[in-house]
């Protein structure tokens, strides 16, 4: 209350000073006996006027919202913690394109539990390019009974429902429900256990074959990144071959990140447009899963490919696993885009996408294993 009254007094004095200076200049012009020619404004007056105007503008921008806002006011006030954090660290420019979501995300009671819809809001902002998100001063709710140790087997007989807070997921409240309702998304362990281990068509690249290719080339695969890896099945299988793989994954209303962690693996909650949080030239393998496909804007895809090149060491491998696009686009757009990297083609297999969307749009799958030149 006192701060607001003091601020209003400063604003009033600044406006009065501006008017006095303007009247002084006007009166000196009228009293001049010379013909009414345009008189230049003295430099010292211009400087004082500009200083006062800048002060008014600065104070107005930072004036706190009124305790009793006018009934006609419709613009929401900026959350105080958002203002505070903006003075500590920069906020992604894309965040300003979605003020309603950002304000809702940053509206909470400090030092208490975070709102229950925080995760949904966070993911929505991230997918709109607002990343990294501003930090907050609230406590995230966690499962009441976390496991006492990491599992030795990343393919358990089942996932424990108690390891997930199901209130944030509207469609299912158990893993058995997810396995039935969302087949193929990584929650049916009976299906997941055979992935990456069998060869049915040219589009498949079993892990034993991948490791043999690297061995034959006197290369080694120790560290990897799985981009868009869902529940982490690829990383889980590679763990059994003593290869460490981190998985980038979004939830999309299912507990992908939680399942990756339950398997004793590392989930990275980052979108495809985010720079990979890994140093240059330190990984041996990057796998691009189904999330990397023709629906990504071409320019964004190109930046993604060159970010992959940044983190791959010389001699490392880039694996496009069932990348899908229209057949014509693969030959005219995506093939040349991949070719710009200058990588060696170890495997390049194309096959028809035979689901309803693939048949309708004349889509094909590409499975390609490419090796980065050592000289790069």
Instruction: Identify the pLDDT of residue 117.
Output: 86
Higher-scoring residue by pLDDT: 97, 312: 312
Higher-scoring residue by pLDDT: 34, 230: 230
Q: Please provide the average confidence, as pLDDT, over all residues in the chain.
A: 84
pLDDT band at 44 (very low <50, low <70, confident <90, very high): low
Instruction: Identify the pLDDT of residue 20.
Output: 55
CA distance 161 to 375: 49
pLDDT at 345 over 70: yes
Contacts of 72 (CB under 8 A, 6+ apart): none
At residue 344, φ and ψ (nearest 5 deg) are -75, 130
Return the ∠ at Cα 245 (arms to 312 and 239), rounded to 5°.
Answer: 135
pLDDT in tens, 295-340: 999 999 999 999 999 999 999 999 999 999 999 999 999 999 999 9
pLDDT in tens, 145-169: 777 788 889 999 889 999 999 988 8
pLDDT band at 64 (very low <50, low <70, confident <90, very high): very low
pLDDT at 71 over 60: no
pLDDT in tens, 3-30: 455 545 545 555 555 555 555 554 554 4
pLDDT in tens, 226-243: 999 999 999 999 999 999
- DSSP per-residue letters across 123-172: HHHHHTT--SPPP-SSBPP--SS--SS--S-SS-SS--GGGS-GGG-SS-
Cα 139 to the chain's mean position, in Å? Answer: 21
Tell me what percent of the residues of the chain surpass a pLDDT of 90. Answer: 61
Mean pLDDT to the nearest integer, 196-220: 95
pLDDT band at 281 (very low <50, low <70, confident <90, very high): very high
Instruction: Identify the pLDDT of residue 81.
Output: 83
CA distance 40 to 29: 10
**Residue of 27, 322, 91, 287 lying closest to 200 (CA atoms):** 322
Contacts of 158 (CB under 8 A, 6+ apart): 175, 189
Cα 105 to the chain's mean position, in Å? Answer: 15
pLDDT band at 39 (very low <50, low <70, confident <90, very high): low
Instruction: Identify the pLDDT of residue 35.
Output: 47
pTM of the model: 0.76
Instruction: Identify the pLDDT of residue 183.
Output: 83
């Amino acid at each position: 209350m006192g701060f607001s009254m003091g601020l209003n007094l400063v604003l009033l004095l600044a406006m009065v000073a501006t008017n006095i200076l303007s009247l002084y200049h006007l009166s000196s012009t009228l009293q001049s006996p010379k013909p009414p020619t345009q008189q230049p404004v003295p430099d010292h007056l211009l400087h004082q006027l500009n200083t006062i105007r800048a002060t008014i503008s600065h104070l107005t921008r930072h004036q706190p919202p009124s305790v009793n806002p006018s009934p006609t006011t419709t613009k929401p006030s900026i959350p105080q913690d958002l203002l505070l954090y903006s003075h500590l660290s920069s906020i992604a420019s894309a965040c300003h394109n979605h003020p309603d979501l950002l304000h809702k995300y940053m509206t909470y009671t400090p030092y208490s539990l975070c709102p229950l819809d925080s995760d949904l809001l966070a993911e929505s902002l991230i997918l709109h390019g607002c990343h990294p998100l501003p930090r907050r001063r609230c406590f995230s709710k966690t499962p009441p009974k976390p496991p006492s140790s990491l599992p030795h087997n990343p393919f358990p007989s089942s996932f424990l429902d108690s390891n997930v807070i199901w209130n944030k997921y509207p469609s299912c409240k158990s893993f058995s429900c997810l396995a039935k309702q969302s087949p193929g998304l990584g929650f049916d362990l009976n299906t997941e256990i055979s992935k990456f281990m069998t060869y049915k068509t040219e589009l498949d690249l079993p892990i034993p074959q991948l490791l043999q290719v690297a061995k034959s080339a006197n290369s080694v695969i120790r560290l990897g990144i799985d981009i868009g890896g869902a529940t982490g099945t690829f990383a889980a299988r590679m763990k059994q071959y003593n290869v460490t793989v981190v998985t980038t994954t979004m939830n999309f209303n299912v507990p992908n990140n939680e399942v990756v962690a339950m398997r004793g693996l590392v989930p990275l909650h980052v979108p495809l447009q985010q720079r990979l949080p890994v140093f240059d030239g330190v990984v041996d393998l990057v796998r691009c899963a189904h999330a990397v496909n023709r629906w990504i804007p071409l320019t964004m895809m190109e930046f993604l490919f060159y970010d992959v090149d940044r983190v791959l060491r010389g001699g490392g491998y880039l694996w496009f696993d069932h990348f899908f696009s229209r057949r014509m686009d693969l030959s005219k757009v995506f093939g040349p885009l991949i070719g710009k990297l200058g990588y060696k083609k170890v495997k390049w297999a194309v096959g028809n996408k035979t689901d309803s969307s693939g048949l309708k749009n004349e889509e094909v799958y590409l499975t390609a294993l490419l090796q980065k030149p050592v000289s790069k």
